[in-house]
Amino acid sequence: MLQLVSDSSCDLPDDLIRRYNIHIVPLVVEIDGECYREKVDITPKEFYKKMAVSRELPKTSQPTPVSFSDVFTKLSQFGSVLCITISSGLSGTYESACLGKRLSGAENITVFDSLGGSWGQGLQLIKAAQLAESGHPLKEILTELEKYRDKSNILILLNTLDNIVKGGRLSKFQGNLGKLLDVRVLLHNDKDGKVVLQKKARGKKKFMQMVLDEIGKRCQDMTLVDVGISHFNNLEDAEFIKKELIEKHHASNVLISEMGVVMATYAGECGMIIAF
């Protein structure tokens, strides 16, 4: 039986993690000198409160190779292990998992780079689990995952530039100007798994319409497409987008979750990530 492993950046809700028996290796986030393991020592809501009053952007770090090795060693006794990680273009987690594989000494372990994060990674885990449940061998699952990954879309919606400023990617002056002009930014994952600027708009109404238009350009009919939306304290807008996708693009399966602490560190207050 295939054993599924992921790092905590997948942002899957607990019910789906249990449903598909996915083993989570947590990333670590440091805020105000304290370190927390995502989904173990701190919840998203607790983290949101701490980040709101912190002057510095929290620091994130990938799981250690030993963390992966311990999980791989345990699970490899029960069948092949497939570990799907956050994009290697965003984190060193993929390399850490590869080192963990070598440390374990087990030969029945495969590490797969999702080239995404949040639901972009989570939907691949669900796809792999469903294929395994249907009796597909690992080789076929990997082939299907590559196809699925290549055609997937990941959009990152930034409602504030605060975290980009804290992270040093934008000057304080530019950030304040963006706030004054109410600039919101849409990013997307490129095919190398890196985040790049897509578009920007002034004001919430124009921004939301721009996002919906962009989704429509990429996928007009979502009847057979799974959609995942993660949000940082922004359930209202996530539900609005879900409603629009159902009404205008015939989406049949839209899943919403709270954004995990690692993704939230970069997305910022009211940010969202949409994968389909």
- Span 29-50, pLDDT tens digits: 998 899 999 989 988 889 888 8
Across residues 257-264, what is the average pLDDT? 92
Instruction: Give this prediction's pTM.
Output: 0.91
| Distance of alpha carbon 151 from alpha carbon 97, whole angstroms | 24
* Least confident span in 41-45, 164-168, 244-248, 254-258: 164-168
Please state, as a whole number, how many other Cβ atoms lie within 10 Å of the Cβ of residue 271: 25
Instruction: Tell me whether residue 237 is in a domain.
Output: yes
Report pLDDT for 244.
Answer: 96
* Mean predicted lDDT score pLDDT of the chain: 90
Q: Are residues 109 and 237 in the same domain?
A: no
Among 127, 151, 175, the domain-final residue is 151
HSE, side-chain direction, 13 A CA sphere, residue 219: 22
Q: What is the largest CA-CA distance in the chain?
A: 57
CA dihedral sign, ordered 125, 127, 130, 132: negative
Report pLDDT for 173.
Answer: 33
Q: Are residues 113 and 14 in the same domain?
A: yes
Instruction: Tell me whether residue 51 is in a domain.
Output: no
Domain holding 223, by residue range, is 154-275
Q: Are residues 226 and 142 in the same domain?
A: no
| Distance of alpha carbon 273 from alpha carbon 251, whole angstroms | 17
CA 78 to chain centre: 28
Across residues 141-145, what is the average pLDDT? 98
Express each pLDDT in 172-198 by its tens digit.
434 344 454 467 889 888 888 888 878
Q: Is residue 197 packed enough to be buried (19+ CB in 10 Å), middle (13-18) or exposed (0-12)? A: exposed
Instruction: Indicate if the pLDDT at residue 51 is higher than 90.
Output: no
Structure tokens at 46: 């607790």
Among 151, 180, 200, the domain-final residue is 151
Instruction: Tell me whether residue 117 is in a domain.
Output: yes
Instruction: Tell me whether residue 55 is in a domain.
Output: no
Q: Are residues 12 and 123 in the same domain?
A: yes
Among 151, 182, 199, the domain-final residue is 151
* Least confident span in 52-66, 67-81, 105-119: 52-66
* Tally of domains within the chain: 2
Q: Are residues 144 and 239 in the same domain?
A: no
